[in-house]
Structure 1
Amino acid sequence: MAKLRLHKAASRLVGATTALLTGIAVANAADCSRKDALGTSRVLAVDAKTYPRVGLKSFPQTLPLADHEVVLTFDDGPRPPNTQKVLAALAQECVRATFFLVGKSSAELPELVRRIAAEGHTVAHHSWSHPMMSQISFEQAKEDIERGIAADEMALNGVSTQVPSTPFFRFPYFDSTPATLDLLQSRGILVFSADLWAADWENMTPEQELKKLIEQLEITKKGIILLHDPQAWTAAMMPAFLRYLHDNGYRIVHLVPAAASAQTRADGAH
C-alpha cells in the first residue's frame, strides 16, 4: 500500500508542477476557492513560556499536534525563483507555512519577504549569515542572530529592530549552544528544531525527496516538517507532496505567535 501511494504521488510531480508554471494564479491563502484544496486546518498560537524549545531532532518536547497534523516549515530563503514556486504551490492548496529567513537574503529581497507575509505565512528567523554557532564565539553568534532578526524586520516592516515581531528562531544546522539557547529564552524567543525532514540540503530528485518524506510520515504520522524553499527539487516536489497530504488525511497546522493571536482577537472585539 505504501508503495502504491508513493507511485501515485510521484506520478503527479510532472503534471502538478507543469500546471503551476503555466499560469495558475497565486491565490491568497486566506481566500480558498478550491473545494478540494488541502487547506489549513487550524491555527496554533505558541509562545516561548509554554514551548521554549520544540522539535524532537534537538529537544525532548515538540508541539502538541494530533495524529495526522503537520506543520510545514521552510529554511534558508528567500531565494528566487524557487521560493516563488513554493509559494505558488502553497497558494494552490490554500496552505500556510512558516518561513525561517536568512537575514542577508531578506536584506537583498525585501519585496519577497513582504510577499511571504502578505500571502498569510509566518515570517521567522534563521540568523544573518547561516553560521555554525558552535564554531564561533558567543559574541559573534549573538551579533549574527541579532543582525538577522533586524534585517528580517526591516524587510518586513521597514524598522530595524532586534525585537522580532514573530519570536520564532531556528538555528542553522540545528547547531545551538547552551549560551545561545539561554540568550533566546531570556528574550522570549521560541527555538525550533524539527520532527522530520527529507535532508533536502543534499542533491536529490523531487521523486527521491517525496519518497523520503512519505516514508517518514508512515512512521511518525505527524510533526514539524523541515524543508528548504531555495532548493529546486523541493519546489518541484511541493505540489505532489501537498496532494499526498490531502489524499492521506493529513491536516495543516499554521503557527503564529501567541501575542499576535491575542492582538487579533482584541482587534476583532472592537
Structure 2
Amino acid sequence: MRVAAGLILASALSVALTGAAWSQTPAAKPAGAAQAAPAAAAPAAAPAPAAAAPAPAGFVNPPPPKQAPQPARAACNTPGALGVARTVEIDTTGGPGFGFEHFKELDFLRDHEVVLTFDDGPWPKNTPAVLKALADECTTGIFFSIGKHATYEPEILKQVYAAGHAVGSHTWSHANLNNKKLNEAQRKEEIEKGLSAVKWALGGISPAPFFRFPALQHPPEMVTYLGNRNMAIFSCDIDSFDFKASKPEKVIETVMKKLDTKGKGIILMHDFQKHTAEALPELLKRLKAGGYKVVAMRAKFPASTLPEYDQELLKDIKLPTVSQRPVNSVVTTVSE
C-alpha cells in the first residue's frame, strides 16, 4: 500500500476522552424487505493524492449549518458490554484522510482500538439487525449511506442517527468514480447528490462530513474536490470482505485474523450484507474477549450541502402529494 503524501499540513484531530467495500449495490428500490445479491467487487483501489489544494475560482463552500446536537447514545445497562472506550472529534477542514489502506498521516488509534464502519445502507432487515447488535453491546459505528438507499429507507436511516451513530455519505448510486466514462461534473454529482439525499432522508438534518469512495477508488481530482469541501475521506485498515463471505463465520474469521495481525484499525463492513448482520453479535463478543476497544468518531461540524443539488434531488425522488396522503398525516389535532 502506498502513502497518500501531503494530504494535510497539520493534524485534524482533537481527541475528547469519554467514559466509556466493496460491494456493488442494486439501483432498484427494495421490494419490502427482499434481499438483493451484490455483484462482484471492483478492482483494487489506487492510492489517493494530496487534497490540500486551493479552491477553484468562483467556488464558494457554504458554512456548516447550525442545527441541534445529535441525540446521545443511550445509557448502557448491560454489564460487561463492549461499550465505547473513547470519542474523538474530527476537524474535517481540508479533507483529512483516515485508514492506512490509503492514508498514513493520521495514526490516531492506540493499540487494540478499533472503529466500526458500515457501508451501503440503509437496507431492510439487515441495517436494523446491525443496529440491534450494536445496541446490545452499547457500542457505536459510522454508517456511510448510499444516497438512493437513503431515499428508499429514510425511516431506517433516521433510526441510525437517533441511536447516536455517525452518518456519512457514500455517493448517490455507488458509482465507481474512477470510471473513465464519467466526466468531472458527473463525479461531483455523485458526491453532492448523495450527500443531499442523506440530508433529505434525515429530515433536513445534515450528516457528518465523512465520505467513503465506492470500492475505495479515489480519483485524484475528487480527493482534491473533497478537500475543498472540507469532507473527511475514509479508507480502512481492515476490510472484512463480507460481500465475498459465504457464511457469517467467514466474516468473523477474516476480521479477527487481520486485526490480530495489525493490532488496531478502522474496520470496513456493510450493513447491506445479510452475513454481516448475522455475524456482528458474535464479532462484537470476540472483540471484547480479545481486549479490543471501540473508538467513536464524531465531526466537529456537520456537512454543508449545495443548494443546487438539494433541488436536483427533489426531481428524482417521488414525494407524496397531499391527495395521496391520509388526512391524519396532514391535519393533526393538537388541542381541544
Q: Which bracket does the TM-score occupy, shorter chain normalised?
A: 0.7 to 0.9
> In 1, distance between residues paired with 2:94 and 2:171?
23
Contact 1:102–1:128 (CA under 8 A) maintained in structure 2:
yes
Residue 31 in structure 1 maps to residue 65 in structure 2:
no
In 2 relative to 1, CA 72–84 (structure 1 residues): closer, same or farther, beyond 3 Å?
Answer: same
Over aligned residues, Cα RMSD in angstroms? 1.5
One-letter amino acid of the counterpart of residue 56, structure 1: F
Aligned pairs for 1:66-145 within 5 A: 66-135=110-179, 136-145=182-191
> In 2, distance between residues paired with 1:62 and 1:89?
29
Runs of 5+ in structure 1 lacking a partner? Answer: 1-27, 261-270
Task: Using the TM superposition, give the Cα deviation of residue 102 of structure 1 relative to its aligned residue in structure 2, in angstroms.
Answer: 0.2
Residue 252 of structure 2: aligned partner: 210
Q: Which moved more, 1:198-207 or 1:245-254?
A: 198-207
Task: Using the TM superposition, give the Cα deviation of residue 203 of structure 1 relative to its aligned residue in structure 2, in angstroms.
Answer: 3.8
State, as a whole percentage, how many aligned pairs show the same letter: 39
Higher helix share: 1
Please point out which of 250, 255, 258 is paired with 2:297. Answer: 255
> In 1, distance between residues paired with 2:74 and 2:133?
14
Residue 27 of structure 2: aligned partner: none
Residue 197 of structure 1: aligned partner: 239
Task: Using the TM superposition, give the Cα deviation of residue 63 of structure 1 relative to its aligned residue in structure 2, in angstroms.
Answer: 4.5
> In 2, distance between residues paired with 1:200 and 1:62?
26
**Equivalent position SS for 2:174:** coil
Task: Summarize deviations over 1:66-121 as a string: whole Å, max 9, x none.
Answer: 00110000000001111111100000000011000000010111111110000110
**Equivalent position SS for 2:161:** helix
**Equivalent position SS for 2:129:** helix
Q: Which moved more, 1:80-89 or 1:52-61?
A: 52-61
Contact 1:124–1:167 (CA under 8 A) maintained in structure 2:
yes
In 2 relative to 1, CA 60–222 (structure 1 residues): closer, same or farther, beyond 3 Å?
Answer: same
Task: Using the TM superposition, give the Cα deviation of residue 51 of structure 1 relative to its aligned residue in structure 2, in angstroms.
Answer: 6.5
Contact 2:115–2:266 (CA under 8 A) maintained in structure 1:
yes
Residue 177 of structure 1: aligned partner: 219
Task: Using the TM superposition, give the Cα deviation of residue 221 of structure 1 relative to its aligned residue in structure 2, in angstroms.
Answer: 0.9
Residue 60 of structure 1: aligned partner: 104
**Equivalent position SS for 2:301:** helix
How many residue pairs match? The answer is 229
Higher relative contact order (CA 8 A, sep 6+): 1
> In 1, distance between residues paired with 2:238 and 2:275?
17
Residue 196 of structure 2: aligned partner: 150
> In 2, distance between residues paired with 1:188 and 1:50?
5
Residue 167 of structure 1: aligned partner: 209
**Equivalent position SS for 1:35:** coil
> In 1, distance between residues paired with 2:286 and 2:170?
28
> In 2, distance between residues paired with 1:44 and 1:201?
29
One-letter amino acid of the counterpart of residue 217, structure 1: L
**Equivalent position SS for 2:168:** strand
> In 2, distance between residues paired with 1:36 and 1:50?
39
Task: Summarize deviations over 1:113-163 as a string: whole Å, max 9, x none.
Answer: 11000011000000000001011211101001110000000111336xxxx
Contact 1:55–1:61 (CA under 8 A) maintained in structure 2:
no
> In 1, distance between residues paired with 2:217 and 2:151?
23
Residue 25 of structure 2: aligned partner: none
Structure 1 or 2, whichever has the larger Rg, is 2
Task: Using the TM superposition, give the Cα deviation of residue 56 of structure 1 relative to its aligned residue in structure 2, in angstroms.
Answer: 1.1
TM-score normalised over the length of structure 2: 0.66
